[in-house]
Amino acid sequence: MKKFISLIIILLLSLSLAACDTAGQTEKTEQPMTSEQGLKKTAREERVLRMDGDNLGYPSVFTSSPKGRGYLLVSFTFDTLVWKDETGVIPLIAKDWSISDDNKTYTFNLNENIKFTDGTPLTAEDVKFSFDYLKEHPYQWVSVAPVEQVTAVDEKTVQIVLNEVYVPFVTDIAGNVPIMPKHIWENVTEPEKFNTKEAIVGSGPLILESYDKESGVYIYNANKDYFMGEVQIDKLIMSSVKNTKEALVADEIDMASNVKYGEAMKLKEENSKYKVIEGPGLWVGRLYFNFGIEELNIKEVRQAMYYAINRDELVQKALKGAAEVGNPGHIHPTSEWYSSDIKNYDYDTETAIELLTSVGITDTNENGIVEYNGKDLSYEFIVPEEQVPLAELITKYLGDIGIKLEVKAMDQNTIASLIKEGKFTLAFNGHGSFGGDPVLLKGFVSEETAASTPQVTTQGGQNWHNEEFNTIFNQQIVELDREKRYELVGKLQNIISDELPTLTLYYKKSISAYNPEVFDGWFFTKDGVSLAVPTIHNKLIFVRGQWNK
Amino acid sequence: MIIKNLSRTKRICSFIIFIYIVIAIISNFIMPFSIDDFSSEILQTPSFKHILGTDEMGHDLFSLLLNGFKISILISIISGILSTTIGVILSFVSCYYKGIIDNTICHIANLLIIIPEIIIIMFFAIFASPTMINTILAIVFFSWTKVFKMARSKLMGYMDKNKVKYTFLIKGNIFDIFKKLYYDLYPVVITSFILQCNKAVMYETTLSFFGIGDPLSKTWGKLIKSAMNYENLFYDNVIFWYLFPPVICVFIYILSLSLLIFDEK
Amino acid sequence: MKLRVLVKYFIYIFLILLISFVLPRIIPGSPLSYNHNDTYILNQSLPEDTFNAFEEYYAPNEPFFNQFYKYLYNLSRFDFGYSFYYKLPVSNLIFGRLPWTLLLSFTSIVISSFVGISWAIKTSLLNKSSNFKIGMMIAIQSMPTFLVAILIQGVIAYKLKLLPAWGAYKPGTVFFTHTFYLDVLLHLILPLLTLILCEIPGIYILTYNSSQKIKKENYVIMARYLNIEDKQINQQFIFKNIIPEILGKLNIQLIYAITGSLFVEAIFSYPGIGQLLKSAASSRDYPLIQGILILTCFYGLIVNFIFEIVLKNNTEKY
């Protein structure tokens, strides 16, 4: 009997080893091993920082996810001309810059000793090349449309000329165009498929060691020659973690950036070992309308829906308090561009029903659903899987005024694509990139404009159209006087609050928890990293943080 | 009179099932709150007003649980009836026509035993639009095999009996055979019906938990899923009134049904 | 006889392919349903790149037989289409994850059949069985696997924090070192425990019933008459005859083991097929779920086929 048991155990072990062998091999082929890094074992223990993350694709410029977080992964290996920290814009590749009197020409002086991780120095030619390359191959995160011409004056000086005055140029374009090595990328014709080891040669603080595309584990090594100073960690492991808070407490990760608000609050309460920090809410949850549906083009219908939704209760119940109530003017109330001169929609079912009646939408056949021209106002409502409670609330609210919703839950990426392509009737989703310059209102402009925003913020299909809005938007984008611009932006918010091209439901609070005994110094970036990405993943932490273990 | 023939365990089980069905029927009247009423304060601990406390949205958990009785048992019974019917009809067809038809049905049944039922049910339910009816259809279409096997082996035994031969002799059709054998098949039908009810509730819970089916219906599986999604479930004993009640309800229901049909000899 | 078996399995394979092909086309609300006369509606409900991949693989506009032919042709080259969610070929995904699933399900079946069979034979031979024990077994058996997994994970991993709650190894560990193997073992314990717990009752009840049956066989009764020692009866007569009896039914248990392991993996985020199934379910990843269906079907067929042969060889001996 005992013999048999030991035999079984041996069998079990050998089986498990065999299985791991095969499992490991498939992953190993994807690892571009940096042999030097592996060999160079220093005396002290390797400083490995472990944090949670999502699977966001191969972290090269064109292959990563179009979401903000995808861009941030790219930013670990690719530097930009300027960057942001908790105080605002700071120099990065460019040590300083000057702006011409007509506000159209920017001259950047580059730092001297920057090298790409393959050893070639970064020059003005690479900067020029990167801008030109993005012009030729449109990049979903940042558009270089406002840039007319880039010239490399000498090896370390770049001059960028714009078509028109573009106020947010430094933060939104210079701070986001990844500088790619010309000698590698000049031969790349299909960047969307470029995912070799060469595609991740940049000048940033980290070097990708491996990426497991199935489980979404990223392993980065420190760039020992980083020009900003010594990188404070040796290795970064980012993996998709199932339960972030538990993983943090169980010491499986040192930084929980995806932690849920309630969890983080609980952690703060009961365990002082961990630090919990809150950042600005730069993620907006909104209800999208498809303007291809006739009755949704009627302003009163959208207003009635907004009246019918109890946003306070929504935030409290569906979001568990982890959000701030949405502002009808779309802009976040704490933003310096916020205007209080807007129309308000306090929860009021009576007014909502009156509004519907005023445009002839009533329940004539008494089936509990209101009709417009004899057609029931009954829609398919698509929501991300994790937002089913919110969908339940909204279904109830709109049900109260006679609009019937049929909820369909899908995964978030699918919803985002469907919205981007206009294939929906009513949809709920949200996005980051919602802070800083009011250029973020571009999503509501129905004509071509020079302004640049990430594609995640826009909606496809037939869009809302308002001539006045378009005009004012184009005025403010070239307005240099801050006072005057504020006034114009205020007008835009007023129009939005009256017309409601989208129903702004809430702004998600961002929160992160970490173990300061391992690595400390985390901070939230002013207006969000890059284009207002509301996460803590700012690459400067790798240089500025303190390793405490 | 049936009850008397049962052992003590089975009597208890049938009593429990009876209670379940009674609760399901009267659930609408004893529910303290409506299921789409989320006006209560969120995450309360159990009290007289909210026997099982409230969830993160302010639903009364006790009402949701009662509603789970209604929906889950309804699904269970409907799919039980339908799949038993399909199984029995197919077994009659198979025994009456014999030959190639019998062979084909048998092969399909064998195949469906080889393929794990739940996988093909999930496959069906994922492709179908997310409604309650489709969930039931998925369960019905792919879980009749056991009924079919049981009924067929029973029927095959009767095929040689005189009354059947006689019916064939006077050129009776399938309905005549059905009339003749209906009573003999009675115990098999009851057993398989209970078995199917059992399976249906198990499958429905699994599907709900995997997020397949109507996202807003409040079954036990959905309740378990939302409990599992609540981030602080493992603190302050929330688990006892949020996760455990639906789990226990599912468990006792399935257990009673299984014990009821378990052959003690 | 052999030929008949082969023909039978060919029919099964054909039926499986037919089911997996026809079902998506007749289910109401399916994106491939024939109610949609043109692909316009589908194009309205799927993102662009997904739609393109979908159209390329399924070719919903072509005549039925061309589609089926194309389907078979693709399958014969192990081309299961392109996963919408992972944006990777389904076959890569499935075969990359398969080792973990096999590890989990095979280890569990080995352990649970050893424990289950020996326990059941022991109780049945020593006449130690009680209705309570059988009742307990039925109780465990009637718990859906995923519920057991949830309870075990919640209590042991989250509440008591004794063992890792998810995954197969700590992310970022270097493969094939000692710590790695230890890590894998630690992560294996809970899912394995769950699976074993769920598999034992089935095997126990099965074995118990068959050994009870054999105990009443004439040759056993005869042996007792002849005053052959109990021990010898147990070893020579009963045990030897139980084995083929059980082997004949163990195939069903093996098939359940793989489904069980799918659910356990989904709960414990074990990087096997179960996790794929979970994400396929939540993201309506049709090609992926289809690939998983075909894989499990073929697994069932292969297991059945092997057992049919084993059974033939064994029953002929006795």
Minimum CA–CA partner of A266 in chain B: B232
B91, B148 in Cβ contact below 8 A? yes
Under 8 Å CB pairs connecting chains A and B tally to 44
Q: Which residue has the higher pLDDT, A254 or A416?
A: A254
Per-residue pLDDT, A2: 45
* Contact flag B215-A391 (C-beta cutoff 8 Å): yes
* Contact flag C171-A239 (C-beta cutoff 8 Å): yes
Nearest CB neighbour to A318, from listed B57, B216, B231: B57
Minimum CA–CA partner of B40 in chain A: A317
* Contact flag B57-A263 (C-beta cutoff 8 Å): no
- Which pLDDT band holds residue C308 (cuts at 50, 70, 90)? confident
Look at strands A426-431 and A378-384 and give their pairing: parallel
Look at strands A48-52 and A235-239 and give their pairing: parallel
Per-residue pLDDT, C45: 61
Contact list, B232 vs chain A (CB under 8 Å): 262-263, 266
Strand partners, C89: C82
Look at strands A89-91 and A157-162 and give their pairing: unpaired
Spatial separation of the C-alpha atoms in residues B186 and B190, rounded to whole Å? 6
Find the mean pLDDT for residues A63-79: 89
Find the mean pLDDT for residues B247-254: 90
Q: Considering only residues 198 to 257 of chain C, which have any Cβ-Cβ distance to chain A shorter than 8 Å?
A: none
pLDDT over 50 at A224, yes or no: yes
Helix axes B244-261, B61-97, angle to 10 degrees: 30
- Asked if the C-beta of C82 comes within 8 angstroms of chain A's C-beta atoms, the answer is no
Nearest CB neighbour to C283, from listed A8, A214, A410: A410
Per-residue pLDDT, A11: 47
Neighbours of C186 (CB within 10 A): 13
A114, A239 in Cβ contact below 8 A? no
- Asked if the C-beta of C48 comes within 8 angstroms of chain A's C-beta atoms, the answer is yes
DSSP A403-416: -EEEEEEE-HHHHH
Minimum CA–CA partner of C107 in chain A: A12
Per-residue pLDDT, A79: 94
With a CB cutoff of 8 Å and minimum separation 6, the contacts of A236 are: A48, A49, A50, A51, A76, A206, A218, A219, A220, A221, A542
Per-residue pLDDT, A28: 39
- Asked if the C-beta of A187 comes within 8 angstroms of chain C's C-beta atoms, the answer is no
Neighbours of A5 (CB within 10 A): 12
Spatial separation of the C-alpha atoms in residues C128 and C144, rounded to whole Å? 28
* Contact flag C259-B239 (C-beta cutoff 8 Å): no
Q: Which residue has the higher pLDDT, A407 or C54?
A: A407
Spatial separation of the C-alpha atoms in residues A302 and A289, rounded to whole Å? 9
pLDDT over 80 at B238, yes or no: yes
A223, A138 in Cβ contact below 8 A? no
Spatial separation of the C-alpha atoms in residues B176 and B186, rounded to whole Å? 16
Here the CATH number for the domain that contains residue A435 is 3.10.105.10
Asked which of A218, A253, A288 is the last residue of a domain, the reply is: A253
Q: Considering only residues 156 to 175 of chain C, which have any Cβ-Cβ distance to chain B shorter than 8 Å?
A: 158-159
- Asked if the C-beta of A271 comes within 8 angstroms of chain C's C-beta atoms, the answer is no
A215, C171 in Cβ contact below 8 A? yes
Per-residue pLDDT, C1: 58
Based on the number of CB atoms within 10 Å of its own CB, is C216 exposed (0-12), middle (13-18) or buried (19 or more)?
exposed
Query: Subunits that touch chain A (at least 3 Cβ pairs < 8 angstroms)?
Result: B, C
pLDDT over 70 at A33, yes or no: no
DSSP B35-96: TT---SPTTPPP-SSSTT-B-TT--BHHHHHHHHHHHHHHHHHHHHHHHHHHHHHHHHHHHH
Neighbours of B176 (CB within 10 A): 16
Query: Subunits that touch chain B (at least 3 Cβ pairs < 8 angstroms)?
Result: A, C
pTM score: 0.81
* Contact flag A423-C46 (C-beta cutoff 8 Å): yes
Q: Which two tokens stand for residue C302?
A: 């292969």
pLDDT over 70 at A14, yes or no: no
Per-residue pLDDT, C315: 57
Per-residue pLDDT, A24: 41
pLDDT over 90 at A206, yes or no: yes
Per-residue pLDDT, A134: 92
If you ran DSSP here, which 8-state letter would residue A208 be given?
E
- Residue length of chain B: 265
Report the SS3 class of residue A534: coil
Report the SS3 class of residue A335: coil
Give the helix ranges, DSSP H, for A189-322. Answer: 244-249, 261-270, 299-308, 311-317
Spatial separation of the C-alpha atoms in residues A190 and B56, rounded to whole Å? 48
Per-residue pLDDT, B3: 55
Per-residue pLDDT, C310: 73
Contact list, C138 vs chain B (CB under 8 Å): 255, 258-259, 262
Minimum CA–CA partner of A244 in chain B: B231
Question: Average pLDDT over chain B, rounded to whole?
Answer: 85
pLDDT over 60 at C54, yes or no: yes
Q: Based on the domain organization, do A160 and A243 belong to the same domain?
A: yes
Helix (H) or strand (E) holding C189: helix C178-215
With a CB cutoff of 8 Å and minimum separation 6, the contacts of B45 are: B53, B236, B241
Closest chain A C-alpha to B34 CA, distance in angstroms: 12
Q: Considering only residues 4 to 43 of chain C, which have any Cβ-Cβ distance to chain A shorter than 8 Å?
A: 43
* Contact flag B56-A407 (C-beta cutoff 8 Å): no
Minimum CA–CA partner of A58 in chain C: C87
pLDDT over 70 at B219, yes or no: yes
**Cα separations in angstroms, B116 against B26, B128, C7, C259, C262:** 36, 19, 22, 7, 11
Please choose, from the candidates C52, A410, B115, B199, the residue with its C-alpha nearest in 3D space to the C-alpha of residue A419: A410
- Asked if the C-beta of C106 comes within 8 angstroms of chain A's C-beta atoms, the answer is yes
Spatial separation of the C-alpha atoms in residues B231 and A490, rounded to whole Å? 39
With a CB cutoff of 8 Å and minimum separation 6, the contacts of B11 are: B3
Determine, yes or no, domain membership for A34.
no
The tens digit of pLDDT for each residue in B13-64 reads 889 999 999 999 998 888 888 887 777 887 888 888 888 888 888 888 999 9
Nearest CB neighbour to A408, from listed B38, B56, B130: B130
- Which pLDDT band holds residue A17 (cuts at 50, 70, 90)? very low
- Which pLDDT band holds residue A168 (cuts at 50, 70, 90)? confident
Q: Based on the domain organization, do A302 and A450 belong to the same domain?
A: yes
Per-residue pLDDT, C29: 66
Per-residue pLDDT, A503: 93
pLDDT over 50 at A487, yes or no: yes
pLDDT over 90 at A397, yes or no: yes
Contact list, A323 vs chain B (CB under 8 Å): none
| Chain centre distance of CA A450 | 21
**Cα separations in angstroms, A58 against A61, A213, B253, C29:** 9, 7, 48, 34
- Asked if the C-beta of C156 comes within 8 angstroms of chain A's C-beta atoms, the answer is no
Contact list, C44 vs chain A (CB under 8 Å): 423
Task: Give the range among A83-87, A178-182, A236-240, C156-160 with minimum mean pLDDT.
Answer: C156-160
Determine, yes or no, domain membership for A543.
no
Spatial separation of the C-alpha atoms in residues A243 and C14, rounded to whole Å? 43
For an interface test with C, the pick among B8, B106, B107, B115 (most C C-beta atoms closer than 10 Å) comes out as: B115
Neighbours of B44 (CB within 10 A): 17
Report the SS3 class of residue A94: strand
- Asked if the C-beta of C277 comes within 8 angstroms of chain B's C-beta atoms, the answer is yes
With a CB cutoff of 8 Å and minimum separation 6, the contacts of B43 are: B53, B54, B55, B56, B238
- Asked if the C-beta of A41 comes within 8 angstroms of chain C's C-beta atoms, the answer is no
Per-residue pLDDT, C42: 54
Per-residue pLDDT, C34: 55
Spatial separation of the C-alpha atoms in residues A72 and A62, rounded to whole Å? 13
Task: Give the range among A33-47, A57-71, B220-234, C74-88 with minimum mean pLDDT.
Answer: A33-47
Q: Which two tokens stand for residue B161?
A: 């009996």
The tens digit of pLDDT for each residue in A287-309 reads 999 988 888 999 999 999 999 99
Spatial separation of the C-alpha atoms in residues A501 and A301, rounded to whole Å? 11
State ipTM. 0.83
Closest chain B C-alpha to A400 CA, distance in angstroms: 12
Contact list, A420 vs chain C (CB under 8 Å): 47
The tens digit of pLDDT for each residue in B75-91 reads 999 999 999 999 999 98
Per-residue pLDDT, A87: 87
pLDDT over 70 at A410, yes or no: yes
Q: Based on the domain organization, do A320 and A226 belong to the same domain?
A: no
Q: Based on the domain organization, do A69 and A213 belong to the same domain?
A: yes
Q: Spell out which chain B residues touch chain A, with contact meaning CB-CB distance below 8 angstroms.
A: 36, 38, 42, 56-58, 130, 211, 215-216, 226, 229, 231-232, 235
Domain boundaries, chain C: 2-76, 99-279
* Contact flag C96-A26 (C-beta cutoff 8 Å): yes
Strand partners, A477: none
Per-residue pLDDT, A141: 86
Contact list, C258 vs chain B (CB under 8 Å): 116
Minimum CA–CA partner of B57 in chain A: A317
* Contact flag B134-C135 (C-beta cutoff 8 Å): no
For an interface test with A, the pick among C166, C169, C185 (most A C-beta atoms closer than 10 Å) comes out as: C166
Per-residue pLDDT, A236: 93
Per-residue pLDDT, B19: 94
Contact list, A423 vs chain C (CB under 8 Å): 43-47
Helix (H) or strand (E) holding C252: helix C240-268
The tens digit of pLDDT for each residue in C199-238 reads 898 888 888 888 888 877 787 788 878 877 777 777 777 7
Domain with A352, as residue range(s), is 280-509
Q: Based on the domain organization, do A427 and A380 belong to the same domain?
A: yes
Dihedral class, residue B230 (left if φ above 0, else alpha if ψ from -120 to 50, else beta): beta
- Which pLDDT band holds residue C43 (cuts at 50, 70, 90)? low
Contact list, C176 vs chain A (CB under 8 Å): 20-21, 24
pLDDT over 80 at C241, yes or no: no
- The CATH number for C99-279, chosen from 1.20.120.530, 1.10.3720.10, 2.60.120.260, 3.40.50.300, is 1.10.3720.10
* Contact flag C85-A413 (C-beta cutoff 8 Å): yes
Report the SS3 class of residue C312: helix
* Contact flag C282-A385 (C-beta cutoff 8 Å): yes
Strand partners, C51: none
Give the helix ranges, DSSP H, for A110-252. Answer: 124-136, 182-185, 244-249
- Which pLDDT band holds residue A456 (cuts at 50, 70, 90)? low
Burial profile B219-250: b = 16 or more Cβ within 10 angstroms, e = fewer: bbbbbbbbbbebbbbbeeebbebbbbbbbebb
Find the mean pLDDT for residues A225-252: 87
pLDDT over 90 at A125, yes or no: yes
The third-level CATH classification (topology) of the domain covering B82-262 is MetI-like fold (1.10.3720)
Neighbours of A79 (CB within 10 A): 25
Please choose, from the candidates A500, A449, A443, the residue with its C-alpha nearest in 3D space to the C-alpha of residue A471: A449
* Contact flag C161-A15 (C-beta cutoff 8 Å): no
Q: Which residue has the higher pLDDT, C137 or A178?
A: A178
Find the mean pLDDT for residues A527-542: 87
Closest chain B C-alpha to A458 CA, distance in angstroms: 27
Percentage of chain A surpassing pLDDT 90?
Answer: 42
Closest chain A C-alpha to C11 CA, distance in angstroms: 32
Spatial separation of the C-alpha atoms in residues A207 and A59, rounded to whole Å? 11
Question: Largest Cα–Cα distance in chain B?
Answer: 74
If you ran DSSP here, which 8-state letter would residue A525 be given?
P
Per-residue pLDDT, C38: 45
Question: Average pLDDT over chain A, rounded to whole?
Answer: 85
**Cα separations in angstroms, C202 against A9, C104, C198, C246:** 22, 18, 8, 11
pLDDT over 50 at A71, yes or no: yes
Percentage of chain C surpassing pLDDT 90?
Answer: 7
Q: Based on the domain organization, do A361 and A497 belong to the same domain?
A: yes
Contact list, C146 vs chain B (CB under 8 Å): 206, 209
Task: Give the range among A44-48, A120-124, A165-169, A302-306 with minimum mean pLDDT.
Answer: A44-48
Per-residue pLDDT, C64: 79
Closest chain B C-alpha to A316 CA, distance in angstroms: 8
Q: Based on the domain organization, do A173 and A303 belong to the same domain?
A: no
Per-residue pLDDT, A328: 92
For an interface test with A, the pick among C45, C269, C279, C284 (most A C-beta atoms closer than 10 Å) comes out as: C45
> Domain tally for chain A?
2
Report the SS3 class of residue C8: helix
